[in-house]
Structure 1
Amino acid sequence: MNLEIVPGRLTVPSLSALAAFEAAARHGSFTRAAEELNLTQGAVSRQVAHLETVLGVALFQRARQRVALTPAGAAYAAEIRDGLSRLAAATVSTMAFRGAGGVLNLAILPTFGTRWLIPRLPRFTEAHPGITINFTTKLVPFDFAREPLDAAIHFGDPVWPGARLHRLMGEEIVPVAAPGLVARLGLKEPADMLRGSLLQQSTRPRAWANWLEQQGLPPQRALMGPRFEQFAMVSQAAVAGLGLAIVPRFLVEEELRSGSLVIPFDRPVTGTEGYYLVYPETRAELPAVVAFRDWLLAECEMAS
């Protein structure tokens, strides 16, 4: 039996056969897959055998009471597992249209999430107790069509094909350092900062260069220094005295209040880039997205 490829029609084996195969592949056992799916071992075996017939390729090597994936089976299992996960996520999202609740799968920038967003979330959950937010971190833009995500917090320009963007806020970039390091370096003017180590944030490679150029200083040393992936790591390195950091002011407000960091020269740099809420057109009317969007824009307006 071969798959019939008909133009305009999806060529997909039955969902029950795919579920049986994925469970057997994950457990490495037809028996354990049967227990998970509340089927008999024979039923799982028949589903997998039927799938192998449809595909025309062996998915398992069978030896006595044990089974092991063939190379083709291992590759297929990885793809099927992702596909079934996306089907489950799509089903949950669609069910959310029944009411005001649901699940919001949100990608956030890690430091923005921990320092700004999450402390404010109790107000959202109080207003929308039926909505559950699942978080993942993304440092760079991605393809919504290939990720099981409903929305994202993005920093940069308002460009994201196939998506809607809402500007949340801009930022002021300032240099910060531990008070002890300021004293050791004897910082009296911006040029003195070049005697210290300039801590780098990997997604903002021009941050130091932009600030130094604004002060009329040469940017040659702008990229020389330890590199970190997240602003939280950069700010903690600065607190530890490892060097001087260049960070958005609002992300280090706690350290500035406590005195663990100071701004030696309060000469901020502002740019055209900003923080945006982004979501694909296909999610624009999802109740959880609409509720989160309206709440987040109101929070940003209050904070400005």
Structure 2
Amino acid sequence: MRRAFVPPADTLIAFECAARHLSFTRAAEELHLTQGAVSKQVRQLEDRLGVELFRRVRQRIVLTDAGRIYLHDIRGALEQMTAATRQVMSYAGSADVLNLAVLPTFGTRWLAPRIADFGRRYPDAGLNLSVRLQPFDFDEEPFDGAIHHGDPVWAGAIAERLFDEEVIPVASRVFRDRHQIRTPADLARVPRLQLATRPLAWRQWFDLAGVETDAAFQGARFEQFVMISEAAIHHAGAALIPRFFVEAELASGRLVRLFDLSLSQQTAYYFVYPEGRTMRPVVSAFRKWLMEEARTARTRRETMLPG
């Protein structure tokens, strides 16, 4: 029954391409076919569906209402098939492949600079990284593990703590000197950068510093820490950023820590993996490596002087 409702893939690809270009000729060029072949495949699809997908208007084609709806759904299905095919191809040449869901800034600023070491230690292991912002069901998503920030709560999964989060105020040296920032109260009068998902951060930091201000919620808002750090580096404002995200920038002088006062969060970063599922060797190896890296990072931060 299912096969009866699945048209041949070449007709779907021809339809999507023609719909995207609104031209059989341009679709033929992209698919390396003749214009007649593309037109024939689309007509075969229309005959199979019993629905007109295009209206032929003089020398051009226009999607019908049914065509627009079908295009939306088929495009998503084709993208999923493409992603699935690329993922399974990644297994070629690897003894095992780890599929990991990561938070974007964590993946970019903390994990990516270290991942080469994992590759050196486990040269036969493959690795696929994808971004996920929210917890998901491991039974419905093709992941072996995930990096999670928040509380150690994830349905059907085990959460192992990597490290806590120490949020510090930073800015470029140019910004600090230009605005003559000398005391925590000075930050209430300068441009501040806000993280959209943590709207209370500056309010909490000012409270911790004993600074009374009505301006805690003012400032440009960004969706990710990596965007805030780049803006801060280029003198756009002061920012509250987890220290381990900007260690390289602090070491190089691209950012400076404005004050020793840090905002400790109740939440932490965790490595999460499915409960009750036998851990494959590549997952076990990655978990061991990740916990070692997190432990090393914690030790290094604990021995570093503020600044």
- 1:13 aligns with 6
Secondary structure of the corresponding residue to residue 221 of structure 1: coil
* CA pair 89-163 structure 1, distance change in 2 beyond 3 A: farther
SS in 2 for 1:273: strand
Say yes or no: does 1:251 pair with 2:245.
yes
Task: Please provide the CA RMSD for this pair.
Answer: 4.1
Name the structure 2 match of 1:131: 126
101-110 vs 265-274, greater mean Cα deviation: 101-110
User: Pick from 204, 224, 228: which aligns with 1:230?
Assistant: 224
Query: For the Cα contact (< 8 Å) 1:202–1:228, is it kept in 2?
Result: yes
Q: Which moved more, 1:215-224 or 1:284-293?
A: 284-293
Instruction: Assess, with a 3 A threshold, how the Cα gap between structure 1 residues 72 and 225 changes in structure 2: closer, same or farther.
Output: same
TM-score normalised to the size of structure 1? Answer: 0.72
Look up the SS of the partner of 1:271 in the other structure.
strand
Task: Find the aligned partners of 2:214 and 2:175 in 1 and give their Cα distance.
Answer: 22
Deviations 1:148-198 (A, max 9, x none): 874654433345557665543221011123445545655554334323333
- 1:234 CA drift (Å): 2.6
Q: Distance in 1 between matches of 2:67 and 2:12?
A: 12
Alpha-carbon deviation of 1:271? 1.6
C-alpha distance in 2, partners of 1:219/1:10?
A: 65
Would you say how many aligned residue pairs link Structure 1 and Structure 2? Answer: 292
1:58: how far off?
0.8
Q: Secondary structure at the match of 1:272?
A: strand
Alignment of 1:168-187 (within 5 A): 168-179=162-173, 181-182=175-176, 187=181
State the distance in 2 between where 1:241 and 1:40 align: 55
Taking the TM superposition and a 5 Å limit, the aligned residue runs for 1:13-162 are 13-16=6-9, 17-30=11-24, 45=39, 47-63=41-57, 67-93=61-87, 100-102=95-97, 104=99, 106-110=101-105, 112-126=106-120, 127-128=122-123, 131=126, 133=128, 140-141=133-134, 150=143, 153-159=147-153
**Cα displacement (A) at 1:101:** 4.5
Relative distance call for 1:122 and 1:71 in structure 2 (3 A) is same
Moved more, 11-20 or 245-254: 11-20
Matched residues in 2 for 1:257 and 1:63: separation? 64
More strand by share: 2
Q: Which residue number corresponds to residue 203 of structure 1?
A: 197
1:217 to 211, 222, 227: 211
The superposition leaves residues 49-96 of structure 1 with CA deviations (integer Å, 9 ceiling, x where unpaired) of: 343244332112235775443232133122112112212333454566
Query: Relative to 1, partners in 2 of residues 1:26 and 1:174: Cα closer, same or farther, differing over 3 Å?
Result: same
Unaligned runs of 5+ in 2: 299-307
Q: Percent identity?
A: 46
TM-score (norm 2): 0.72
Classify 1:159/1:70 alpha carbon distance in 2 versus 1 (closer, same or farther; 3 Å). farther
Task: Please say if residues 58 and 72 of structure 1, whose CA atoms lie closer than 8 Å, have aligned partners that are also in contact.
Answer: yes
Q: CA deviation at 1:121?
A: 1.7
Letter in 1 for 2:208: Q
Deviations, residues 209-239 of structure 1 (Å, cap 9, x unaligned): 1212223333532112232333234334434
Q: List alignment gaps of at least 5 residues for structure 1.
A: 1-5
Give how far 1:107 is off: 4.7
